[in-house]
Structure 1
Amino acid sequence: MRHVYECPMRWADLDLLGHVNNVVYADYLQEARVDMLRVHARGPATGALAEALLVVSNQLTYVEPLLFDTRPVFIECWVTEVRAATATLAYEVYRERDGERTVYLRASTVLTPYVFAEERPRRFTPEERAGLEAYLEPVEVEPTPYGEPVHHELGHYPVRVRFSDVDIYGHVNNVKYFEYFQEGRVAVMTRLLEQAPGVERQSVVVAQQDIEYKRPMLFRSEPYDLWTWVSHVGRRSVILEGEIRDPGAPDRLLARGRFVLVFFDTTTGRSTEPSPQLRELYASLV
C-alpha cells in the first residue's frame, strides 16, 4: 500500500529558471515521510518512529521540471525494504490531469531507528516492523557508484552551520546537506569560469543527487571542510562528487555525495552539449 501526501508549494521554492529548486525536493520528501509515519500513523509505535529515525542516505532522480502552482503537488510514499536496523522508503512526486500522471521526481531514502540520547542506532521493534511492512512493496535499489576522493584548493568550500540548520536533537537536518553540497558546486564552478574568462557560461540542471550520511554534523562556530571535484565529463553532462569532513579530525568522513548535472539550453528547454572549451575546463578537475 502506498501513502499519498498533498504537499503545498511555496513561491520561495523556485530557482532562477522558475523550476522548483533541486534542494527543495528533499524537504518535500521529508514532509511526506513524516505525514505517513506520524499524522497517519498505523499505531503508537509507528507514530513515534517519525521522531526517532536517522537518515542514512538519499537518492533523488529528477524526471521533469516542476513549476509553481497554487494546487498542491502529490507525493506517493511507500516502503521497499525492512531489515533489522534499516528501512528503505521510496517516493514519487507527481501531478495528475485528465487521468494522466506527470512524474517530476523519483527517490529513495534509507533510514535507521536511532537513540538520540545515546547517539547510537538500534533495531526496529516488532511493532515498528509491522507498521512499516503495511506499506511494503519490495524493489531493489542500486547502490551509488562513488569514486575516490580528490582534494584540491579550487574545490574547497568552508561550510558554516547556521543555528536554523539544526534539528531538536542538535544534528544538522538531512535536507541541509543538499544546500551545503549545492553551495560547494556553485563555488567550484564559479572559480573554474573565473580562471578562464573567455569560456562562455552554460546553464545546468541537476538530474541526479545521491547523499550518504556517515556521522552527524553539529552546530558550532568553526566551519567544516567540503571538497568538490569532477569525476566524469560526458557528452551532455558532468558528474561532480563531494565530501564533508571535520578539519579537526580529517580522517573522519561526515557525508559524501554524487551529483549528475546536465547542460541545459534555456531557450529550447532541452539538454545541450557544452562547448569544447567548457568540457576541457571541467575535464581539468577529473
Structure 2
Amino acid sequence: MIHETPIHIRYSDTDLNGHVNNAVYATYMEESRISFLQEVFPGQRLPLVIASLHIDFRQETRYPEHTDVVARTWLTRLGRSSFEFFCQIVSVRGEVLCEGTAVVVHYDFEKRKSAPLPDWAREKLLPYVREREESNVGV
C-alpha cells in the first residue's frame, strides 16, 4: 500500500528564485511520515528516532506553478528494530519532483538504545512494504 499526504506549498517555502528551498523537502517528508504513522497507529505513538535521511532532487519545484504536491510514502525495508520510509514528492500532474529515504529506529529512551519492534507494530507495517520506485528524471 502507498500512503498519500497532500501538501500545500507556501510562498515562505521558496527562495528568491521561486524554487522550493532544498531544506523544506525534509519537512515535507517529515509531514508525510507523521501522517503515515498517525494513520497506521491511530491514537498510539511508537518511540522512534531518525537514523538517516537522504534526498534526491529530480525536477525543480516552483511557486506558484506548484502550489500543491503529494507525498507518496511506503516502506522499502522492515528490519528487527528499524524500517526505511521511501517518499516521492509528486506534482498534481504526477511529475516526480523529489524522492528520498528516511531510516527510523524503534528506540528505548530509558536504555538509550534501539529496541526490537513489537510484533503488533510489525503486523501493522507489513502491508506498506514494497519495492522502491525510483525516477531517473532530472539526474
In the superposition, the TM-score normalised over structure 1's length comes to 0.43
CA distance in structure 1 between the aligned counterparts of 2:107 and 2:15, rounded to whole angstroms: 35
**Greater relative contact order: 1 or 2 (C-alpha under 8 angstroms, separation 6 or more)?**
2
Q: CA deviation at 1:222?
A: 3.7
CA distance in structure 2 between the aligned counterparts of 1:284 and 1:179, rounded to whole angstroms: 25
- Of 59, 74, 78, which aligns to 1:233? 78
- Of 60, 84, 87, which aligns to 1:216? 60
- Of 268, 275, 279, which aligns to 2:118? 275
Aligned counterpart, 1:132: none
Tell me, which stretches of 5 or more residues in structure 2 are unaligned?
130-139
Contact 1:226 1:244 in 2 (8 A): yes
- Of 80, 87, 90, which aligns to 1:242? 87
**1:156-202 superposed Cα distances (whole Å, 9 cap, x missing partner):** 111111111100111011000000000000000110012xx6xx632
Aligned counterpart, 2:7: 159
Aligned counterpart, 1:258: 101
**1:7-66 superposed Cα distances (whole Å, 9 cap, x missing partner):** xxxxxxxxxxxxxxxxxxxxxxxxxxxxxxxxxxxxxxxxxxxxxxxxxxxxxxxxxxxx
Q: CA deviation at 1:204?
A: 0.7
**Which amino acid in 1 is paired with 2:6?**
P
CA distance in structure 2 between the aligned counterparts of 1:188 and 1:177, rounded to whole angstroms: 16
Contact 1:232 1:283 in 2 (8 A): no
CA distance in structure 1 between the aligned counterparts of 2:46 and 2:14, rounded to whole angstroms: 34
Aligned counterpart, 1:205: 49
Cα RMSD of the aligned pairs, angstroms, is 1.5
SS at match of 1:176: helix
Aligned counterpart, 1:183: 31
CA distance in structure 2 between the aligned counterparts of 1:222 and 1:215, rounded to whole angstroms: 15
**Which amino acid in 1 is paired with 2:53?**
Q
Tell me, which stretches of 5 or more residues in structure 1 are unaligned?
1-149
**Which amino acid in 2 is paired with 1:266?**
F
Change (3 A) 1:201 1:274: farther
Aligned residues: 128
**Which amino acid in 1 is paired with 2:82?**
S
Structure with max Cα Rg: 1
CA distance in structure 1 between the aligned counterparts of 2:82 and 2:20, rounded to whole angstroms: 30
In the superposition, the TM-score normalised over structure 2's length comes to 0.86
